[in-house]
Amino acid sequence: MILFIFNNQPYDGSDKTYNALRLAKSLHVKGEKVKIFLMSDAVDMAREAARKPDVYDYDLVALLKELYESGVALGVCGTCLTRCGIYKNQPYFNDTIKGTMGMLTEWSIEADKVLSF
C-alpha cells in the first residue's frame, strides 16, 4: 500500500499537489492500493467551498473526488476541520472521510511506502 500525506494548501502557486494527485491516480490505475490523508491546510482540498483559481488549469478538489470515487481510501484530519485552511469550519465534501491521528498511524504502519507533500 502507498500512503500519500498532504500538508500544504492545495492552490499554493505550485504544481506540487497536482503532480502528487497525478501520481496517486497513475499508481491506482496500475493496480496499487493507494490511500490519501489530508492534514493542516491541505484539508481545503476536501471542501466544496474551495474553488479553483482562474490561474489554475486543474480543479484539485474534483481530482481528489475522482480518486475517492474510484476506490482510493481518503482520510481528512478531523481536528483540522476547524483549525486549518482558508475555509476553516466549512464542511468536508463527505462526512465519512473525517479521519483521526489513530487512522493515520494505522495507515502509516501498514504502508509499504509513505509519500509526503
pTM for this model (two decimals) = 0.94
Q: Which residues contact 77 (CB under 8 A, 6 or more apart)?
A: 37, 38, 39, 40, 43, 84, 99, 100, 101, 104
pLDDT band at 55 (very low <50, low <70, confident <90, very high): confident
Q: Give pLDDT tens digits for 56-76.
A: 899 999 999 999 999 999 999
Mean pLDDT of 98-107: 97
Q: How many domains does the chain have?
A: 1
Whether residue 30 is predicted with pLDDT greater than 90 in this model: the reply is yes
- Find the domain containing 57 and state its range: 2-116
